[in-house]
Amino acid sequence: MVRRTKAEAQETRERIIDAAERVFHDKGVSRTSLNDIAKEAGVTRGAIYWHFKNKHDVFAAMFERQRLPMESMANRAEDPNETDPLGKFREAMIYVLCQTVLDPGRRRVFEIMFHKCEFTAETDPLMERQREAFLDGSERTRRTFRNAIARGQLPASLDIERAVVQLHVQMTGLLYVWLLLPEAFDLQAEAANFVDCYINSLTHCPSIAGP
């Protein structure tokens, strides 16, 4: 009985996140209310408060649900015992780009983040979560690049900080443009090429203090 109750509670939580994803996508984050989410999910506001503190907490859960599979792949590249950290990094980056095309849920979440999340005083908590995710992703990338340097896959002269910024710019720019104009280029077909171009550029990203 306890197991079934926990399963039902988890099912309700997922239904709320699914509903929020659809409503955020249709109306934008700032114009969405908890009542909108409750109506779409077919639950009461009380049911939402059982699982989440507020609308921003629902948004965070929606974001984390998409982030977890990416973190699982990134963990392999960060592992100092991994013999091919750069290869695992490449796989993770290609996965992110391709799944944005193939997974409607992931695409909706990215569209919400890039085009339908209006940052105002009310949504400051969302901006703070975005900053935290950026900083966490940056640190993960630093560990990966240090592993790749230790394995001789990247030059010791690599300016890691510059490479991290460049990665954020390239990945964010690719996703932003494709989500805005998906007919502009075939993201799935070009994903490996885009990632390989970035990785190849790292051999020409030396430290300012380096040779």
35 pLDDT exceeds 70? yes
Answer yes or no: are the C-beta atoms of 207 and 159 closer than 8 Å.
yes
Most confident range (mean pLDDT) of 50-54, 135-139, 191-195 is 191-195
Q: How many CA atoms lie within 13 A of 3 on its CB side?
A: 0
Answer yes or no: are the C-beta atoms of 195 and 97 closer than 8 Å.
yes
Q: Which single residue is written with the structure tokens 């049911």?
A: 47
200 pLDDT exceeds 80? yes
Mean residue pLDDT across the chain: 88
d(C-alpha 15, C-alpha 58), whole Å: 11
- Residues 80-112 have pLDDT tens digits of 999 999 999 999 999 999 999 999 999 999 999
pTM reported for the whole predicted model: 0.83
d(C-alpha 16, C-alpha 51), whole Å: 9
Answer yes or no: are the C-beta atoms of 172 and 93 closer than 8 Å.
no
d(C-alpha 125, C-alpha 131), whole Å: 10
3-state SS assignment for residue 208: coil
Q: Which single residue is written with the structure tokens 């503190």?
A: 53
2 pLDDT exceeds 60? no
Overall average pLDDT of the 111-136 stretch: 80
210 pLDDT exceeds 60? no
Answer yes or no: are the C-beta atoms of 134 and 169 closer than 8 Å.
no
163 pLDDT exceeds 80? yes
Answer yes or no: are the C-beta atoms of 98 and 188 closer than 8 Å.
yes
CATH numbers and ranges of domains, the chain = 56-204 (1.10.357.10)
Task: State the pLDDT at residue 205.
Answer: 64
Task: State the pLDDT at residue 209.
Answer: 46
113 pLDDT band, cuts 50/70/90, is confident
State the DSSP H helix or E strand holding residue 176, giving kind and residue range, or none if neither.
helix 160-180
Tell which residue, 102, 91, 98, 100, has the closest CA to residue 199. Answer: 91
- Going by the DSSP 8-state scheme, the letter that residue 158 receives in this structure is B
121 pLDDT band, cuts 50/70/90, is low
